[in-house]
Amino acid sequence: MSEGTENNFPPGEYGLEWMEREGDNVILNLGPTHPATHGVFRIVVELDGETIVNCDNQIGFLHRCFEKESENTTWGQVIPYTDRLNYVSPLMNNVGYVMAVEKLIGIDVPERAEYIRTIICELSRIWDHLLCIGAALVDLGALTNFWYFWRPREDIYDLVEELTGARLTTCYTRIGGLMADLTDGWIRKARHVIRETIPNAIRDVDRLVTKNRIFMDRTIGIGPISAEDAIAWGFTGPCLRAAGVPYDLRKDQPYLVYDRFDFDIPITDNGDTYDRYLIRMEEMWQSLRILEQAFDQIPGGPINVENWDVILPPKDEVYENIEALMAHFKIIMEGIKVPPGEVYHATEAANGELGFYIISSGEGTPYKIKVRPPCFAIFSAMPEMVRGHMVADLIAVMSSLNIIAGELER
Amino acid sequence: MSPASSVLEHIRERFSDHVLETLSFRGDDTVVVKRDALLSFMRFLRDDPEMSFDFLMDVTAVDWLEREPRYEVVYHLYSSGKNRRLRVKTRVPDDDPEVETVTGIWKGANWFEREVWDMYGIRVKGHPDLRRILMYDGFEGHPLRKDYQKDLRHPTVPSLDFPDPEKDVRRVIKATDLMRGSGREEGAQEPEKD
């Protein structure tokens, strides 16, 4: 800072003592609201010219007390809160949470429910990757791809709306089953989307971007992370697989019915922004493969467990049968009685490992719920990844990590 | 013997002095270690070829308000080589809520431990950058403690002042008044009579 200029941003007052030092470095503040930050968070960057010397990520602007609120609701009432974690793929959070509770209770859901959960998870994975890639390209100045990807996203929104009644706040799963079965003709419509709209859009963007000279110059070698560092930082999901570690819960610890499908886990070696893009593109093709097989294999039968201690009885039973009425009343007023104990259950969400650590004291309300959001660990490693790069690269790296403030800050 | 319980067996043999408890529930293995042995135990879990827990997935704490010691700090580990998980706990008393940092073993512990400090008020000794993370600087209290009231209004948040019907009432100025040149200031004192 040149002499005579008044310092309007004394870093010490903002908890950034490390920035108070001699030198000509410029401090740049990005956020909390900034067009390039996907969600509300703040990045304070120390620059030498245009080169990043250090950066500090500050989060918490979207903290909504998910965990505190959960301790004051019944087990079932937590499900709508989980929609708001990763709001780009809410169905995956619904599935992750109820599977953790089912693990603690010790029940298995019917096969058809497992298939439907797999289908909505894979649809959400595509949904999430479409937005991540589209938005990452917007940050690099390529707006067209965002609209190319908007079309299939809109089709997926329509499918989800038909299934759940909502486009964003789905609240579709229930402890012990699902809110509703697939509607008539849903699979036919979904087949059309996964055979026509999604592949066409991916091919369009692939042709436009993957071998594009400008895109390659902007992303190859930018924000790389080695396999050892990625593991030490707790990376999971596409960002870890881009660094060459083939860890995917769908293969390593198969849940739902993933062990019945034939699909591959793509990995690359360099761990840079370009590789993260490639991984996400390939994962969408693999998800389409899973969906095709799931639509072929899906069996008939019930979608809910036949256990009225856990799931609401059918409405016509409630009106005519005292047992069902009592079960309904008890679940609504007191909540499901989950046996005392604690479990950690992880699923492979679009960003990586989404873990739920839940503790029950045997009451109708959870004693504690802790969410392990995948992007929390990934975002904490960002300062190390961008040091020595340019400011514009910071934006490219950040959008390739796919930070979703809703699950980051809960 | 299942491979999972053989891990617990191995741990009990190697660290019999420091392990307070082991248990297996619904397929999850848990080890409770003494607080002063935490760091050496964690290093063993990562570096021992039988263990090789290379991922630290999550760090959190639990407030057992009634129990003694009051807090538990919970670490979730994963071994990619052996493909298995382990939960490690250590107990922390209310009068000295402090654990040692594991950032020297797994770099990713940094933010998770800041969250433990922020939400539960458990100090992390040796942490490189122990600031609040989800709450703001100047926030008082630690919200996930069981004795933190859910509906507490924080002193730094301005209270909602409802308008006083006697003082703060606003008068509608008629457009015709304005056109005749009677301004808001003089009109506010004495309403004009038509």
Query: What is the SS3 string spanning chain A?
Result: CCCCCCCCCCHHHHCCHHHCCCCCCEEEEECCCCCCCCCCCEEEEEEECCEEEEEEEECCCCCCCHHHHHCCCCCCCHHHHHHCCCCCCHHHHHHHHHHHHHHHHCCCCCHHHHHHHHHHHHHHHHHHHHHHHHHHHHHCCCCHHHHHHHHHHHHHHHHHHHHHCCCCCCCCEECCEECCCCCCCHHHHHHHHHHHHHHHHHHHHHHHHHCCHHHHHHHCCCCCCCHHHHHHCCCCCHHHHHCCCCCCHHHHCCCCCHHHCCCCCCCCCCCCHHHHHHHHHHHHHHHHHHHHHHHHHCCCCCCCCCCCCCCCCCHHHHHHCHHHHHHHHHHHHCCCCCCCEEEEEEEEECCEEEEEEEEECCCCCCCEEEEECHHHHHHHCHHHHHCCCEHHHHHHHHHHHCCCHHHHHC
Q: Which of B30, B43, B58, B132 to mutate to test the interface with A (most CBs of A within 10 A)?
A: B58
Rg over alpha carbons for chain B, rounded to the nearest Å, is 29
Cβ pair A358, A378 in contact under 8 A: no
| Shortest alpha-carbon distance between residue A229 and chain B (Å) | 8
Structure tokens at A153: 């996203």
Chain B interface includes A245 (CB < 8 A): yes
Residues pairing with A47 in the sheet: A26, A52
Q: Which of B64, B65, B67, B111 to mutate to test the interface with A (most CBs of A within 10 A)?
A: B111
Chain B interface includes A59 (CB < 8 A): yes
Residues of A in contact with B62 (CB under 8 A): 359, 367-368
Cβ pair A30, A21 in contact under 8 A: no
Cβ pair B110, B125 in contact under 8 A: no
Residue bearing the bigger pLDDT, A99 or B51: A99
Contact between chains at B144 and A381 (C-beta distance less than 8 A): no
Contact between chains at B107 and A381 (C-beta distance less than 8 A): yes
Chain A interface includes B110 (CB < 8 A): yes
Tokens 């959070």, residue? Answer: A93
Chain A interface includes B143 (CB < 8 A): yes
Chain A interface includes B154 (CB < 8 A): no
Has residue B153 got a pLDDT over 80? no
What pLDDT sits at residue B77? 92
**Of residues B28, B135, B143, nearest to A343 (C-beta):** B28
| Shortest alpha-carbon distance between residue A352 and chain B (Å) | 11
**Of residues B26, B108, B148, nearest to A380 (C-beta):** B108
Chains A and B form CB pairs within 8 A to the count of: 91
Has residue B174 got a pLDDT over 70? no
Q: Which residues contact B150 (CB under 8 A, 6 or more apart)?
A: A68, A69, A72
Per residue in B89-120, pLDDT (tens digit) is 999 998 888 899 999 899 889 999 999 999 99
Tokens 């670490």, residue? Answer: B75
Has residue B75 got a pLDDT over 80? yes
Confidence of residue B191 (pLDDT cuts 50, 70, 90): low
Chain B interface includes A231 (CB < 8 A): yes
Chain A interface includes B174 (CB < 8 A): no
Q: How far apart are CA A380 and CA A406, in angstroms?
A: 16
Residues of A in contact with B131 (CB under 8 A): 15
> Average pLDDT for residues B116-135, to the nearest whole number?
89
Chain B interface includes A66 (CB < 8 A): no
pLDDT tens for chain A, 410 residues long, are 444 445 566 666 666 666 665 567 777 778 777 766 677 888 888 888 888 888 888 888 888 888 888 888 999 889 999 988 888 889 999 999 999 999 999 898 999 999 999 999 999 999 999 998 998 898 888 888 889 998 899 999 999 999 998 888 888 999 988 988 898 889 999 999 999 899 999 999 999 999 889 899 889 988 889 999 999 998 999 999 999 899 888 988 888 899 999 999 999 988 899 999 999 999 999 999 999 999 999 998 898 888 888 888 888 888 988 988 998 998 888 888 889 999 999 999 988 999 999 999 888 889 999 999 998 999 889 888 888 888 888 888 888 888 888 888 88
Contact between chains at B132 and A60 (C-beta distance less than 8 A): yes
Contact between chains at B108 and A232 (C-beta distance less than 8 A): yes
Contact between chains at B111 and A377 (C-beta distance less than 8 A): yes
Chain A interface includes B83 (CB < 8 A): yes
Per residue in B5-46, pLDDT (tens digit) is 678 888 877 777 888 888 888 888 899 998 888 888 898 888
| Shortest alpha-carbon distance between residue A93 and chain B (Å) | 17
Residues of B in contact with A344 (CB under 8 A): 28, 58, 76, 85, 87
* Minimum Cα–Cα distance from A18: chain B residue: B129
Chain B interface includes A357 (CB < 8 A): yes
What pLDDT sits at residue B88? 92
Confidence of residue B187 (pLDDT cuts 50, 70, 90): very low
Chain A interface includes B111 (CB < 8 A): yes
Residues of B in contact with A236 (CB under 8 A): 55, 57
What pLDDT sits at residue A343? 93
Residues of A in contact with B154 (CB under 8 A): none
**Of residues B27, B87, B131, nearest to A15 (C-beta):** B131
Q: By C-alpha distance, which of A172, A164, A177, A169 is closest to A101?
A: A177
Cβ pair A280, A129 in contact under 8 A: yes
Residues of A in contact with B102 (CB under 8 A): none
Chain B interface includes A106 (CB < 8 A): yes
